[in-house]
Amino acid sequence: MMRPMKLAGSQLLFGKGCLEHIKSLNYKRVVIVLGGSSMEKSGMLDKVRDMFKSSDAEVAVIEGVEPDPSFATVKRGAEEMLAFQPDLIVALGGGSVMDAGKTMWIYYEHPELETLEDVLQAVPFPKLREKAHFCCIPSTAGTASEVSRSVVISDTETGMKHGIGNMEMMPDIAICDPEVTLSMPARITAETGMDALTHAIEALVSTRANYIGDTLALQAALDIIEYLPQAYENGGDLEIREKMLNASMAAGLAFTNVSLGIVHSMAHTLGGYFHVPHGLGDAMLLPYIIEFNSQDERAAEIYRSLAKKAGGEDLAAMIRELNEKLHIPASFQEIIKEEEKYNELLEEMAKAAKADGCTKTNPVIPELDQFKALFQKAYKGE
């Protein structure tokens, strides 16, 4: 039976100039969540803050969300929110900022929750919007957390990543203005772009795939294959940035409804054990998983059809060629030098990947030995 779909929150805006929509929002106390210094250096923080202030909102800023945000960062941000009492939370940044901001929102609305497990195990999921609405302004074209029900947060003690997904976390407002993404360096453009492409391709072959998801994911995949190399080479081209941000958003609308597959399961695992950046892990794993999944005839036909529409024949080969253009390594041994440790952890990593929520909608569910083999192939570049 099909699951109900939700295509974004109350307001979804995209295209050049849509940031101006902020001026029409009617909130009194706004907190802006940030990562590093890129939004400040680019002037985007001041621009967003001034737009909110123009409608007489009081604005506070929570800074310092790190890549792969930790639960400690989430708790710190929630405590700052409890002191300020915002009626709107704005995540201005990339996927880590948006994920951290969403999770801070939960603990702000529910201060009785104290640990990460309190949310991981919560049934029913904590109700939101009693105190604040949530707005995302993405600075990257990749994670699509602005239209997603999901977050990934790292355990402060172990470093292991935990995915949390519930439609309650769908942002109320998503403002996707390509101007905000102009500060993205080439490497981040490549990695986040490949994350978006993985979203699209995994959504297409998901066992929950449907007509609406396919419509969104197919166009997103074709656009990313065409425009990502251009965005990588010329990050100042606002039109190309807009095409990438729109494609990332469309892929996000697809996957948050139909789910993903084992590229994400394995990338989450490698991120937890070896701190491989998520988009980089997706990019490197994707061709191996396309080949593995092709034993399923339905998936194989989808891959063939996508490759043909994109002007090629072999999708895995096309992804490898795209990675090469983006200077993304072909094997994990190029970035993980601890081969002995990697091999010692194969069983543990296989178990973690199999238990990941994305595995259950993959076209083929690998056994533990198959996961181990896939981790080995991706490490050696076989």
Specify the CATH number for the domain of residue 373. 1.20.1090.10
Per DSSP, what are the bridge partners of residue 137? 92
Domain coverage including residue 81:
11-180
Per-residue pLDDT band for 99 (boundaries 50, 70, 90) equals very high
Cα–Cα distance measured from residue 229 to residue 233, given in angstroms and rounded to the nearest whole number: 6
Q: Which residues contact 285 (CB under 8 A, 6 or more apart)?
A: 263, 266, 267, 378
The answer as to whether 5 is a domain residue is no
Q: Kindly report the backbone phi and psi dihedral angles of residue 136, in degrees, each rounded to the nearest multiple of 5, phi listed first.
A: -115, 135
The model's pTM is 0.96
Per-residue pLDDT band for 2 (boundaries 50, 70, 90) equals confident
Position 9: which residue type?
G
- Identify whether residues 340 and 230 lie together within a single domain: yes
- Identify whether residues 142 and 191 lie together within a single domain: no
CA distances from 145 to 33, 44, 103, 192 (A): 14, 19, 12, 12
Tell me the pLDDT tens digit for each residue of 330-380.
999 999 999 999 999 999 999 999 999 999 999 999 999 999 999 999 999
The answer as to whether 6 is a domain residue is no
Question: Could you give the angle at the alpha carbon of 13 between the alpha carbons of 277 and 242, nearest 5°?
Answer: 55
Do 129 and 174 contact (CB within 8 A), yes or no? no
The two three-digit tokens of residue 23, written as one number: 């001026």
- Identify whether residues 92 and 218 lie together within a single domain: no
Tell me the pLDDT tens digit for each residue of 155-165.
888 888 888 99
Last residue of a domain, one of 156, 180, 204: 180
Q: Which residues contact 206 (CB under 8 A, 6 or more apart)?
A: 213, 255, 258, 259, 260, 261, 361, 362, 363
- Identify whether residues 45 and 194 lie together within a single domain: no
Average pLDDT in the chain: 96
CA distances from 168 to 119, 173, 262 (A): 12, 13, 24
Output the domain CATH number for residue 131: 3.40.50.1970
